[in-house]
Structure 1
Amino acid sequence: MIEKELIEFIAQFEYDPAGFVKAMYPWGEGELENKWPQKWQLELMEELATSMRDDPCRLIRNAISSGHGIGKSAVVAWLIEWAMYTRADTRVVVTANTDTQLRTKTWPELGKWHRLNIASEMFVYTATSMYSVVEGHDKNWRADAIPWSKSNPAAFAGLHNQGNRILLIFDEASEIEDVIWEVAEGAMTDSDTELLWLVFGNPTKNIGRFADCLGKERHRWHTRKIDSRTVEITNKQLLNEWIETYGLESDFVKVRILGEPPSSSELQFIGRNVIEAAQSRSITGKDVEFAPAIIGVDPAWGGKDAAVIYLRKGNLSKLLYEEPKSDDNFAFAEKVALFEDKYKAQQVNIDFGYGQGIYSAGKYMGRNWHLVNSSATASKTQYANKRMEMWDRMKQWLINGGCLDELDREIAAELMMPEAYVNDRGQLQLQRKRDMPFSPNRADALALTFGREMKVSTPALDLLKRSRQQGSARNYNPLAKL
């Protein structure tokens, strides 16, 4: 029988996880001798408390990016226990990057702190779950360790607990597939319910949903970056050895110490450093006077894809148009023709996949457009197909001075998304679209501007030489009229 006084004592911490942690474990005694929560852990829990007091019945999202050894697993365990102990019929689901991480690290850490909890008799802890001892509540008042599966993401679809509390935790979140994030978010929709979603991890990738939490989606998340050097319990000697060996700017140190995403993931074809350099450049319209304007068109017929028209002129690029789909071939062809005339484009390249109807409509209008088959044989044997060749040419353009449209916030993520590998024939091959979270339509449209060789006239070459001699880096709005 659980004493009423103990229940009332615990209840006071309903919106105070830091107070719960301080009160429920025997700090300074036994195996917790000379131990106390770290500053960042308390700050995180206090921030969570503030968010809940402001509006408990809204989806509260926290993303914590960190280096190694900071006490992340401990705070995950504390938050699970706080959520379970302080609100009846709370549902908690925890997953991690791998089943091994979940079974051997994340969940056993919960077992350790549950054993130390002064009110541990309130819940039963097992290898995969923790549930209430109150009769009839074991199905609804519980926490479960659930491995995720890309082929079966539905395990997270049933996470509902109307009128109570839901806590969802992703551990080592950088490696959890985007489809799991999507299903989880769709499940966190109960009204009049406390909804808490916390994601933790070393930022091993600079693309994907965890990277988005810390980047383009950070307006939706409370974010926190923990540098391992600032945490008292970390092995400072080892951290300094890593810095001396690899360098402070290395991806190894960024991920494992600073809590920052790498410049490039292991198989990533275009790295973040290349993209950021392209985004930071500014050049004048005069610098590209010599260059022909080329338009790339990537059509789409539904789903999450979008039909995109992109312009490249020398080292400038610009998103011209986007719509959900291009199933009206003549209407879309008219838009392409308008941009062709406006920018006096010397070449229009259309993706062969859904572009044949647009190409035919353009031909009917007397336009000399080109179909580019991404699956066709490349002009050089080092590439698996034409698409790989176009993307490599685009990458070299970015490295050699290409400037990205500063108002196009999506293209950076798309450019960094595909991985590349060497296939069985020894050729460089880009990741297939069906194996990506979504189709990089804007990046593909820009890549299509590299789909055909463009001969530059002698006067244009003279302008190019003068431009290079005079230098091209000046203050300029790349979206101004060319």
Structure 2
Amino acid sequence: MNEPNPFVDFIKTYKDEPTLFCENILGINPDKWQSELMKAIVSGERKISVRSAHGVGKSSVASWILIHTLLTHLDCKLIVTAPTSGQLFDALFAELKKWIGEMPQALQDLVDVKSDRVVLKSRSAEAFISARTSRKEQPEALAGVHSQGKVILLCDEASGIPEEVFESAAGSMSGHNVHTILLGNPTRNSGLFYDTHNKLKGAWKTFHISAFDSDRVSEDFVEEMAMRYGEESSAYKVRVLGEFAEETDDTIIPLELVDSAIQREIPSDHGVSDTIWALDVARHGADSSVLVKKQGNIITEIKTWKRLDLMELSGRVQAEFDTTEPENRPMEVYIDVIGMGYGVLDSLNAIGRLNAVGINVAESPSQKETYMNLRSELWFKFRSFLEAKMCKLPANEYMIADLVGVKYKFTAGGKIQVESKDQIKKRIGRSPDVADALVLLMAGDAIASRSGSYARDWKQPLVRDIKGVV
């Protein structure tokens, strides 16, 4: 008489009970929305889209779905993707591996965990989880996936996945046994993910999870987001409310551009010749002095200092220069000379070891018919820098808050005028010091040396590019 196979009983018990699987096998009690999402898949929902706030547990539930399906279906191809390798392997796949490690050892022994793949050992060709990065240049991440059993196409950070990937996956997504699951923060107001919660909503099972729907999000996080961005801001709506934030007409830089630049993967520009630094000098006690560094199209570092006198600040900047490898030292350091910046510029030029260039953002722009002043021109120049989608920003919450918080208007003469520091500080309660340092990096395209020599004298008027190209 054959011994009963305990795995058969295991599948019978848990195949249609993903919440029970999580409780008994993974030792976790899912939130109500997580249980509803898992149940929707078991019930046969083929198209599911989840927009959520930050930190509500979407990577966790994605991992539970994948593990539960792998262990309860002998034929299953589970493809997981994200816009960048960092989002895929450092976040979601790392979470998946963590939860596999929470299973009883007997179940862990059934699977083989590799760097980009998890397989059921006894059916490695028929039952597996495969991680594939979604790139515009290689849109086939979800293409050509077919199986006699269950197929799941799970897309994390779906707002950032290029449309070409979804277009290429149309054949895979059409199968009667295919479940497409889109998960993400609603950072982009276009594309398939946005459409599934709007004009395509009738064809998709949708979930909307705010920070207030999950005990996993702390009150401190919500309060910090409200203080940093303001409850009416796009960043608060996306990060806390899980809402698509319609950008207002007077916003210079939408959150979408900033988030995509943070997540973007581009080759390192280490050692490139066009290394530039920019320094925004604090004007008041609560403000920060900010030094930003750019190598090619990568913003490599943001450093902030508070309550330094001019000599201390000059010393910090000079020390940054002296301790940087010679091949990575900046060609020039742009310094906003309005207010206290003049003293720092004078001090650094007196030392003479770096090329400090004074920039007066209140002066006239090179495109005089379009912008009210150089400050306005530089802000829109930085927006163009982001819109080109060839740059990389560091992950810095203060930077995000500054960049998305500044507005502009049209003057009576039809020129674009960006808010002044004082106006912004009055409106949002702080000075956008990080953003002002970043936009100062764009000054190199708008100025030229009067004498043609490399070292510039801040007292000399800046000569514009005669073609007006900024």
TM-score (norm 2): 0.52
CA distance in 2 between partners of 1:429 and 1:99 (Å): 21
| Deviation readout 1:405-438 (Å, 9 max, x if unpaired) | xxxxxxxxxxxxxxxx9569x9999989xxxxxx
Amino acid at match of 1:181: F
Written as runs of structure 1 = structure 2, the 5 A alignment for 1:1-400 is: 4-27=5-28, 36-50=29-43, 52=44, 60-118=46-104, 119-134=107-122, 137-161=123-147, 163-191=148-176, 194-264=177-247, 382=370
Shift in alpha-carbon separation, 1:265–1:141, aligned structure 2, 3 A: farther
Amino acid at match of 2:56: I
Q: CA RMSD in A?
A: 3.3
| Deviation readout 1:78-103 (Å, 9 max, x if unpaired) | 00011111111200000112111111
Amino acid at match of 2:194: A
1:12 match: secondary structure: helix
User: Which stretch of the first structure deviates more once superposed, 150-159 or 83-92?
Assistant: 150-159
Cα contact 1:206–1:265 (8 A) shared by 2: no
Shift in alpha-carbon separation, 1:198–1:266, aligned structure 2, 3 A: farther
Shift in alpha-carbon separation, 1:202–1:3, aligned structure 2, 3 A: farther
CA distance in 1 between partners of 2:53 and 2:68 (Å): 25
| Deviation readout 1:124-177 (Å, 9 max, x if unpaired) | 11111000111xx2122111010112112123221111x211011001111111
Shift in alpha-carbon separation, 1:22–1:101, aligned structure 2, 3 A: same
CA distance in 2 between partners of 1:226 and 1:427 (Å): 33
CA distance in 2 between partners of 1:85 and 1:169 (Å): 17
User: Which stretch of the first structure deviates more once superposed, 252-261 or 41-50?
Assistant: 41-50
| Deviation readout 1:446-478 (Å, 9 max, x if unpaired) | xxxxxxxxxxxxxxxxxxxxxxxxxxxxxxxxx
CA distance in 2 between partners of 1:258 and 1:120 (Å): 37
Cα contact 1:13–1:86 (8 A) shared by 2: yes
CA distance in 1 between partners of 2:60 and 2:100 (Å): 11
| Deviation readout 1:238-260 (Å, 9 max, x if unpaired) | 21221234222210111101000
Amino acid at match of 1:8: D
- Report the alpha carbon displacement of residue 234 of structure 1 after superposing the two structures with TM: 1.1
Shift in alpha-carbon separation, 1:265–1:63, aligned structure 2, 3 A: farther
- Report the alpha carbon displacement of residue 180 of structure 1 after superposing the two structures with TM: 0.7
2:38 match: secondary structure: helix
Any gaps of 5 or more consecutive residues in structure 1?
Answer: 28-35, 53-58, 273-379, 384-420, 433-482
| Deviation readout 1:16-53 (Å, 9 max, x if unpaired) | 322322232235xxxxxxxx222221122223333x2x
- Report the alpha carbon displacement of residue 109 of structure 1 after superposing the two structures with TM: 0.6
2:109 match: secondary structure: helix
Cα contact 1:263–1:271 (8 A) shared by 2: no
* Structure 1 moving runs of 4+ over 6 Å: 265-272, 426-432
Shift in alpha-carbon separation, 1:246–1:182, aligned structure 2, 3 A: same
Amino acid at match of 1:22: E
Q: What is the number of equivalent residue pairs in this alignment?
A: 267
CA distance in 2 between partners of 1:224 and 1:98 (Å): 24
Shift in alpha-carbon separation, 1:62–1:112, aligned structure 2, 3 A: same
2:196 match: secondary structure: helix
1:146 match: secondary structure: strand
Cα contact 1:66–1:225 (8 A) shared by 2: yes
Cα contact 1:204–1:265 (8 A) shared by 2: no
CA distance in 2 between partners of 1:124 and 1:231 (Å): 33
| Deviation readout 1:349-389 (Å, 9 max, x if unpaired) | xxxxxxxxxxxxxxxxxxxxxxxxxxxxxxx9649xxxxxx
Written as runs of structure 1 = structure 2, the 5 A alignment for 1:394-409 is: none
Cα contact 2:119–2:127 (8 A) shared by 1: yes
Cα contact 2:19–2:30 (8 A) shared by 1: no
CA distance in 1 between partners of 2:384 and 2:21 (Å): 58
Cα contact 1:382–1:427 (8 A) shared by 2: no
CA distance in 1 between partners of 2:134 and 2:4 (Å): 38
Shift in alpha-carbon separation, 1:269–1:217, aligned structure 2, 3 A: farther
2:101 match: secondary structure: helix
- The residue aligned with 2:409 is none
Amino acid at match of 1:129: R
- Report the alpha carbon displacement of residue 104 of structure 1 after superposing the two structures with TM: 0.6
CA distance in 1 between partners of 2:50 and 2:163 (Å): 17
Shift in alpha-carbon separation, 1:185–1:22, aligned structure 2, 3 A: farther
- Report the alpha carbon displacement of residue 236 of structure 1 after superposing the two structures with TM: 1.1
- Report the alpha carbon displacement of residue 231 of structure 1 after superposing the two structures with TM: 0.8
- Report the alpha carbon displacement of residue 12 of structure 1 after superposing the two structures with TM: 3.2
Cα contact 2:142–2:166 (8 A) shared by 1: no
TM-score (norm 1): 0.50
Amino acid at match of 1:15: D
Shift in alpha-carbon separation, 1:224–1:87, aligned structure 2, 3 A: same
2:181 match: secondary structure: strand
CA distance in 1 between partners of 2:200 and 2:25 (Å): 35
CA distance in 1 between partners of 2:209 and 2:37 (Å): 11
| Deviation readout 1:305-350 (Å, 9 max, x if unpaired) | xxxxxxxxxxxxxxxxxxxxxxxxxxxxxxxxxxxxxxxxxxxxxx
CA distance in 1 between partners of 2:155 and 2:243 (Å): 18
CA distance in 2 between partners of 1:98 and 1:266 (Å): 30
Shift in alpha-carbon separation, 1:212–1:121, aligned structure 2, 3 A: same
Amino acid at match of 1:45: M
- The residue aligned with 1:473 is none
Q: Percent identity?
A: 28
